[in-house]
Amino acid sequence: MGHRINVMIDDPVWLELQKVPQGERSRLISEAVSKELQRRGRGRAAVEMDRLRKTRRRAAASAEELVRADRDAHW
């Protein structure tokens, strides 16, 4: 489902956008916004992972031992 919105864009962007065929403009803008939102989301996730990495507690066992214990618990 599409939604109609009003946005303001700078003149240089408008001039370039006018070169895109009229039927393709909405799709181009939607894809560009989607990519930017994904990029920002990945950036926030990376910052959060860095924060968690600094505050993590050491496990009492190695990753291999934890996987073996989990596997043995489910078989």
pTM (whole model) above 0.85: no
More confident residue, 58 or 11: 11
The CA distance from 36 to 44, in Å, is: 12
User: For the chain, what percent of residues have pLDDT higher than 90?
Assistant: 76
Binned at pLDDT 50, 70 and 90, residue 24 comes out as very high
**Count of all residues that appear for the chain in the document:** 75
Asked whether the predicted pLDDT for residue 11 surpasses 80, the reply is yes
Domain boundaries, the chain: 11-73
- Predicted local confidence at residue 75, as pLDDT: 78
Residues 6+ apart with CB under 8 A from 69: 61
The answer to whether residue 14 scores a pLDDT higher than 90 is yes
